A = this chain, B = another copy of it.
Amino acid sequence: MSIAEPLPRYAEIRRALEEKILSGEWPPGHRVPSEHDLVAQFGCSRMTVNKAISALAAAGLVVRRRRSGSFVAAPKSQETVLEVHDIKAEITGSGRAYRYVILDRERRRARPEDLARLGAARGPLDVEALTVLHFADERPFVHERRLINLAVVPAAAREAFAASPPGTWLLEQIPWTEAEHIIRAENAGADVAHHLAIARGAACLVVVRRTFQAGATITAVTLTYPGERHQLVARFSPATR
């Protein structure tokens, strides 16, 4: 049982509208009463009503158009909030011992496939290419292949990554403004299988993440998790977004 807390007025109004929408009483395309009407109905000021509807608009439940009014939005594709943790934080956060090893490191002029991975169309570019293996309680946890754009993060060339792995270090160095994830399944190749101590051909969850700042790609990383031991969890409720 939930406690009957005194909801703020705007939340109350929001709930009331949300209920109509989620219950299907107001189908997509249905016009929500105007702010003026709701003011009369709920006996409060327009600002309060506005706050309620604006919140619904921000949550994507309604679309607002000047002069026309507010309308129940078409059912969107299901969106879900996917949490992708920093690996070091993910492991230490669950009380396991964390360790990492840099398997390979090379500074080079970006090759065509590097440019493709970074999603950068243009020109000559220097990158730092790293291969890292992360352990949780001394068991291989994830295999990481990373490219760092040295045009954006020149300091990466001088960093030894002794204290923190590249991903964690980068997070501390520069904040990202945009990220893109691609998630797929792959059979483990010989090399990855060896490092992760799994059978060749075992299913792996592959997460490719590109991180951007002001349009420029900061880094592109391919994380390969043993499929049997890892899963991503995502949760979503449109009402509380």
Contacts and interface: CB of A to CB of B under 8 A. Distances in A.
Interface of A: 21-24, 58, 75, 77-86, 89-90, 171, 174-175, 177-187, 201-206, 225, 227-228, 230-239
B234 A177 contact: no
Q: Which 7 A-B pairs have the closest CB atoms?
A: A185-B227, A184-B231, A178-B237, A185-B185, A203-B203, A185-B205, A185-B203
Contact of A78 (B77, B179, B235): B179
Given A178-B235, A203-B185, A235-B180, A77 B86 contact: yes
A86 B23 CA distance: 19
B89 A83 contact: no
Contacts of A90: 77
Q: How many copies does the complex hold?
A: 2
Contact of A184 (B22, B171, B201, B205): B205
A84 B78 contact: yes
Contacts of A235: 178-181
Nearest to A201: B201
Contact of A231 (B77, B78, B182, B202): B182
Given A86-B77, A234-B180, A235-B179, A185 B204 contact: yes
Given A22-B175, A171-B75, A201 B181 contact: no
Contact of A81 (B81, B171, B182): B81
